[in-house]
Structure 1
């Protein structure tokens, strides 16, 4: 009997560590862990907008005429001064012919008037000499004087007619030149809005025929952002920004602020930007090098504009930060009139258990929260799963597992 007792006792003693381990493991909670690391937390402003060409020319006609020929299509490269569109010019050529004839007639009239003035001047001199000798009367002298004066007036009028006809000829020639629409700059044709046979109409109201061709320098593509009035004061020229478009890889493109509007957008621009209040400001961001060719004007985009550049600080993922309410009953002195405030804490993983630790936080971005007081570098904190994290208590047994998915910000 005693031998059996000692045998059972020995088996119990040997098996007890395994039993205890199994028992303790049954109460462990699987949690995701991350370490306290040092990184830069930067304040930023989020905004949206569109890609635009900073160097762009939209060609419009200066005369009403039918389009006879369009020399380019979208995507063509053009040089400054290159003919792009020809308008009908037959009527203008006829007007030029008539004006050239009128100029010739007016010049002949001037020549004739000069001869007449020269003749009357010689006659007046003879009459004046005869008047001194008493051969003719004063009436003959006055008649010769006023005839000469009238001829000089006619000569001046004829000279003015020549200037007027030459100006009309020059105007007609200018209108003829306007029938050839030339490129005002070198670049790429990004839009052709008219076809042969249609009528070109000079207008600024966007009626059909008022827009012909749009040329842009593709290398000048930039971002036009709509920044809220609450954020515009935090921005500065040369501020760093990261641009995200649907066609760009994750992380976007880096840019620098090149222009900040002084006045808000007007009502029409605000409506086009889907801003009903109109209280937004235009901020232009120049894209830096390595721009992909697939960027096009008009594409929508989002931007993160950094407003500070602080030193590195200890940080943890934002999902690790928990909070509750702190009142005067907790023995903490609160400002007068303030009955409660938020107390933030994290769960530190140490020796297989959680340690609830109060922290003081600082700046934050999309992913990380700065920790000013309460943690040390390289300590491990619990970051999830969220349903487990919200129910954790101090000294809870835990088992570390790999996070099921990394969390990335929209823009890094």
Structure 2
């Protein structure tokens, strides 16, 4: 009986002592992951999204109203600058030109007739002036011929002004007639054809059938237009390198360069924040078929690759003091089995590492995880390196 009791106590000690140690260890020591402060290559960048667009793209719309009598192109066809692509029925406009031409001719005839009247009255006025000076013509007769001569000259001047009006209307009619023939303003490809033969083209109206004729674009002028938040736009400059990924070809990143930055901001869709349109010129497209309107995301590298003192981003914690409007960054340094809270000054970062400007030296061991431990870690807590870090 005594032997059995002894063996039971011994077994309890053998099993209980390790369990007790483990229990107290878990209460006093927190197992953490560590990494050393090292020199890392960081390429600072800004992420933004947008769409692919043609830099050189023209949307043709009708400038006159009429039925499309002839369509000379089809979607996907290449066209050259000045090439006739569409013709609108011009009978009404031809008639208008002929009518205004007749009005011009008629007015010119009226001017010639008035010139003859003026010349005749001029001769009469000269003769009667001599008679008046010789006192062979009374004052009333002289005043009458003088008045007729003055009115005739005014009528001739009015005739010239009328001629200007009818000539202007003639030019307007000719301009309207010329617009019945639509030509391509650029070398490119028909990317969208929005009208058919027999349909009516409508001018001066948007978003209704007939207002848009076609879209012509230069397929070699594809670019990415991204929307950069106003908080980041100060870091964007023309010439910076970028990596663009079209959502449809997510496995094929494209190189790019910042080509232009909008001078004014616009409100982002679905939010009140402001953003600036930034155009990225694409490099080689790796023979993938890019199309305008495709969604894309881009990473603009605001600084070149630099070798600098850095720590993993996940190791950095943030502390805010709203009363003092103060935000401070810190990390936990492993020192003699204790987590030591250390204030730092951070610089640029990428997806993995953050530059350290002040507060840490190379080779120092910092606590990087696990997150559930680091979140609740306090200055002076006792810690142990997790087995996978040993």
Q: Give the TM-score category using the shorter length.
A: 0.7 to 0.9
Written as runs of structure 1 = structure 2, the 5 A alignment for 1:279-294 is: 279-290=274-285, 292=287, 294=289
Of the three residues 358, 365, 370, the one matched with 2:350 is 365
Query: Runs of 5+ in structure 1 lacking a partner?
Result: 1-33, 326-336, 346-354, 377-382, 400-412
Q: Is the 8 A contact 2:248 2:294 kept in 1?
A: no
Per-residue deviation, 1:71:
1.4
- Closer/same/farther in 2, CA of residues 298 and 398 from structure 1, 3 Å limit: closer
**Structure 2 match to 1:297:** 292
- Counterpart secondary structure, 1:196: coil
- Counterpart secondary structure, 2:136: coil
Q: Is the 8 A contact 1:359 1:374 kept in 2?
A: no
**Structure 2 match to 1:108:** 109
- Counterpart secondary structure, 2:173: helix
- Closer/same/farther in 2, CA of residues 36 and 133 from structure 1, 3 Å limit: closer
Measured in 1, the distance between the counterparts of 2:55 and 2:257 equals 14
**Structure 1 match to 2:128:** 127
**Structure 2 match to 1:405:** none
Across the aligned residues of Structure 1 and Structure 2, the Cα RMSD in angstroms comes to 4.1
- Counterpart secondary structure, 1:305: strand
Q: Is the 8 A contact 2:332 2:339 kept in 1?
A: no
- Closer/same/farther in 2, CA of residues 153 and 293 from structure 1, 3 Å limit: farther
Q: Is the 8 A contact 1:358 1:374 kept in 2?
A: no
Report runs of 4+ in structure 1 exceeding 6 Å deviation. Answer: 34-38, 314-318, 321-325, 337-340, 355-362, 369-372, 383-387
**Structure 2 match to 1:145:** 146
Q: How many equivalent pairs are there? A: 337
- Counterpart secondary structure, 2:74: coil
- Counterpart secondary structure, 1:40: strand
Measured in 1, the distance between the counterparts of 2:50 and 2:388 equals 49
Per-residue deviation, 1:204:
5.3
- Counterpart secondary structure, 1:119: helix
Measured in 1, the distance between the counterparts of 2:146 and 2:362 equals 113
Deviations 1:19-41 (A, max 9, x none): xxxxxxxxxxxxxxx99996521
- Counterpart secondary structure, 1:206: coil
**Structure 2 match to 1:223:** 224
**Structure 1 match to 2:18:** none
| TM-score normalised according to structure 1 size | 0.69
- Stretch deviating more after TM superposition (355-364 or 139-148): 355-364
| TM-score normalised according to structure 2 size | 0.72
Deviations 1:135-191 (A, max 9, x none): 322222222111111221222222222222111111111100011111112212111
Per-residue deviation, 1:299:
0.6
Written as runs of structure 1 = structure 2, the 5 A alignment for 1:54-133 is: 54-133=55-134
Q: Is the 8 A contact 2:246 2:295 kept in 1?
A: yes
Measured in 1, the distance between the counterparts of 2:329 and 2:310 equals 26
Measured in 1, the distance between the counterparts of 2:329 and 2:232 equals 30
Measured in 1, the distance between the counterparts of 2:91 and 2:252 equals 58
Per-residue deviation, 1:303:
0.9
Q: Is the 8 A contact 1:65 1:88 kept in 2?
A: yes
